[in-house]
């Protein structure tokens, strides 16, 4: 998980080192994003509100301008962050729609509810 906006920077969190803080994790993740010069990033099981994800990408530590979206589900949230200042994507960089309104939604919900997060056999 990247960030919960309600946690202060000195709050202890799990991570690769014994005494990680929120600030340490932000520094680590932002460093990877900047070093790899990413144009897009998919975040699985991250923040469950688009405002929280956007808050992370709006930080001074993250290079560039980013637009975020979030698809929530009962088991996990999937976030998308697109860097918009490189010219790699059209403007707007994506169109978001509610997949729960799709024709296949009832079947997908039934399968998801049946199997939950357990791997399919």
**Domains in the chain: boundaries:** 22-115
CB-based contacts of 109, cutoff 8 Å, min separation 6: 100
Tokens linked to 67: 């637009």
The per-residue pLDDT for range 92-117, each reduced to its tens digit, is 998 887 777 888 888 888 887 876 65
Measure the CA–CA gap between 112 and 57, rounded to whole angstroms.
Answer: 30
- Read off φ and ψ for residue 66, nearest 5 degrees: -130, 145
- Asked if residue 65 has pLDDT above 50, the reply is yes
Neighbours of 6 (CB within 10 A): 7
pTM greater than the 0.85 cutoff? no
- Tell me if residue 67 falls in helix, strand or coil: strand
The per-residue pLDDT for range 8-44, each reduced to its tens digit, is 767 777 766 778 887 888 888 999 999 999 999 999 8
- The answer to whether the bond into 92 is cis (omega within 30° of 0) is yes
């Amino acid at each position: 998980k990247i960030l919960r906006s309600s946690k202060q920077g000195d709050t202890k969190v799990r991570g690769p080192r014994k005494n990680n803080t929120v600030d340490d994790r932000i520094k680590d993740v932002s460093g990877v994003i900047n070093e790899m010069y990413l144009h897009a990033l998919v975040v699985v099981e991250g923040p469950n509100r688009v405002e929280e994800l956007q808050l992370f990408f709006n930080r001074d530590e993250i290079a560039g301008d980013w637009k975020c979206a979030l698809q929530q589900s009962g088991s996990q949230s999937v976030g998308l962050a697109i860097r918009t200042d490189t010219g790699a994507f059209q403007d707007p960089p994506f169109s978001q729609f509610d997949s729960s309104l799709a024709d296949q939604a009832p079947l997908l919900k039934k399968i998801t509810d049946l199997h939950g997060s357990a791997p399919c056999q």
